[in-house]
Amino acid sequence: MSNKILLDSEKIEIILRRLVYQLIENHKNFENTVLLGLQPRGVFFIKQILEIFKRDHPNLQIKNGILDYTFFRDDFRRSEKTLSASSSKIDFSIENKNVVLVDDVLFTGRSIKAAMSSIDTYGRPKSIELLVLIDRRFKREIPIQANYCGAKIDTFKGDRVKVVWGDKLKDNVIYIES
């Protein structure tokens, strides 16, 4: 098994800043926009995004929450293991809001499909967008694409993309395990 570094901390920070600017470009003052980090890995990613907002754009108030979509997954009873739920934390109404889902890696698209179904239990959003750090191209099993994408990569079957979030921005790294 070998590990190849895909993005180091410097490149990741440039990407994070770009993604934040793209969000600002589309959502201006975020008055009617909420960001939802998807459990489990999107929660770490959204923390980094919010950190950049706080550091570079302190005047913007970003409503954010955590969404777990386990009970909406399409593989319940399809494996030997019980699907483990995590907590959701959304302390506001999402009725008529612009929702941006935040996840680290877009792979088959099935998680995003489950997350979009799950959102309906909190109300009917005005729109749903998807922001991902890594898009594993050509691996999609359903027709879902990201609106905001950090980097697109091609991988072999069996490769694993690992996003490691450090305590500080300079400790972040993304590598491919093959």
Partner 1 sequence: MDQLSVNHLLGIKSLTKKDINLIFNTASHFKEVINRPIKKVPTLRDITIANLFFENSTRTKISFELAEKRLGADIINFSSSSSSVKKGESLIDTVNNILAMKVDMIVLRHPNPGSSLLLSQYTDSCIVNAGDGSHEHPTQALLDSFSLYENLEDLKGKNILIVGDILHSRVALSNIYVLNLLGANVKLSCPLSLVPKDIEKLNLSVETDIIKALKWCDAVNVLRVQRERMLKSYFPNNREYSMLFGLDINKLNKIKKDILILHPGPINRGVEITSDIVESNNSIILDQVENGVAIRMAIIYLLASKMNFTINE
Give the total of residues touching partner 1 (CB under 8 A).
Answer: 23
- From residue 68 to residue 97, the character string flagging contacts with partner 1 as x (rule: CB under 8 A) and all else as - is x-xxx---xxx-xxxxxxxxx----x-x--
Scanning 6-14, 43-51, 65-73, 161-169 for contacts with partner 1 by CB under 8 A, the matching segment is: 65-73
User: Which residue, 25 or 91, is less far from partner 1 as judged by CB?
Assistant: 91
Scanning 56-64, 67-75, 100-108, 148-156 for contacts with partner 1 by CB under 8 A, the matching segment is: 67-75
* Sites for partner 1 among residues 132-171 (CB under 8 A): none
Token pair for 66: 């955590």
- Which of 8, 56, 120, 141 forms a contact with partner 1 (CB under 8 A)? 120
Scanning 53-61, 66-74, 98-106, 125-133 for contacts with partner 1 by CB under 8 A, the matching segment is: 66-74
User: Which residue, 117 or 147, is less far from partner 1 as judged by CB?
Assistant: 117
**How near is the Cβ of 34 to partner 1 at its closest, in Å?**
15
Cβ–Cβ under 8 Å, residues 176 and 4: yes
Cβ-based neighbours of 144, under 8 Å, separated by 6 or more: 106, 109, 112, 113, 130
Scanning 101-109, 117-125, 127-135, 168-176 for contacts with partner 1 by CB under 8 A, the matching segment is: 117-125
Residues that bind partner 1 (CB under 8 A): 68, 70-72, 76-78, 80-88, 93, 95, 117, 120-123
